[in-house]
Structure 1
């Protein structure tokens, strides 16, 4: 018998929420070990990792992501309490403390048996969804080897088109436009940025029926970008030119990745006579290192070199509307698990995503077990 109380009726069958994120170093001594965790199995020499880690050292060896996750964790807990949801919220990372396996072990030992996972990645892709599911499977296998009772772990659907994510991004884009000089504001181009991935990975993102040129990964980002452009036009009366661009490429040059890079795009805008640009990082949930360095440092420096006025929209972070959206997604999934009819909130053209990742969704190069999907070893 577990000492854990029965789940709240509105969140049943779930008895806990897991906030699952990437993790980041919290001091100079953490940087290389963190990067070793991120690149484990790829055979990258330590000297190369030290070179890659130079942008962390510019910030004192501290990634903003863990502190931002602490803020989000606290905001979720307060929101749940304010709305009468008695659902414990725990936090685990893929690549740095608190490590996912440790957190899941603590949850299992505390008696949690139905866990819902919220990952800080809004879109379909291998690195943004399937890899998190593989990490969950690896953690569950470790608990199984320790003889612990295994909880059932599910994952909240992709939320790129949920109003709780889109609406704060619209307001952030409007605020960034307002930061530009008035004489260039109306002609500013919107550069919607997200993490570049290998084109082969993008093409196989999402369910098999969505595989193709760019797959679900590109389609979902384009849908969000269109939504923001339309809302900005409604608010300002201006139809800003826009493009989806990419950043933070980390792979070898001989492997094709999604393009154009944000730096190359800024050069193209300047050459075409664009008066200004707003960078809108729709691919990211918080202002972590890939936003602070790749955009606020490298891209801003490139724009200054070109003489192109730029501003950058903030990410959703712990915006109360985003936090409320997380609560709505939890209640939606809980109701669906109880067999209730649910209204799945989604904006744009694509509609709400699947609750359970189907077989063949966002495959990796090497087949590995993944939790919270139709192909999970622990599928009900």
Structure 2
């Protein structure tokens, strides 16, 4: 059948394919430690009680009609106050757009800024920037990062690619790695953007930054979340932030996200998101606005939630590092934020007991699903090639006990490879 070139060229999510394999094994009665999806098991990590009751109240009050295209006013006002209180960022309600999670907002950012052929610079690994480039016909400029800098991009790596670019897509804490920008690294990147924009005439598009900070509330230990405008206020007209409650409040299915940035961009994004109909449900918006005012409950929830996530990440990290110490070809990067651990499984080229050669990271991953009853995601799902032997492990859908019981199975499975 003849369909659009766009549809023909779009690739499905590798993560969803892996999850499908895991779900099939579960259907057959297998117990699998599912570290694939960047989501939460809501029986382990429920949303805050105050948010849940607020949603139910809003439905009882018949708050079920269309919301305004930009989001209900009370939520945008509360987001404005929240940004000021949490990050010291000054954005008024006209500079804030609410939508059904972060994805429509990322799509809206690309659609509002990118014409076919425009350059979009983004680091790899990173989440879905390659797919959004293909939606808009952008010229993709992936910048390969390394474990030496926790897979976070540096100014030195980005600098050669910014001339003539329209968008630099950044994320911290980063999906898939759970690592974060240092103050110095982000400052240096911001300075590059400022310098590049000074070279452009008034009739040229400036270089914008899309800054995805959806995991900004999930940082651990002494890690501090930095953002471009706080570090360089002169960038305020050139940064579009992506944020919301999906990750910080374990509320992925509640579908309330917000973007904030220069009003002329946010206004166009509102039109795009409105035509798509990608609004957050009105009851959830009303409830989120109310919950953001409950600072004490919010802080208590975050303290407990973060402690439990960190305990699972630490257990997985320590298990991998002990395996490394015992001679296994594995490694991990100490978790900094989000719900992810970056894990190296360096077994490409090894042979299974059945005589099959693991030719790439996908083969390694499916071997672990079968033999270790565990699922992780190769960085090839995030824009790298499949010879890269690093993987994302997401702890949100697993209990601490699941993780602890998985490590011996992983040891046994890897010990069988030759």
TM-score range, shorter chain: under 0.3
Q: Compute the TM-score of the two structures, normalised by the length of structure 1.
A: 0.27
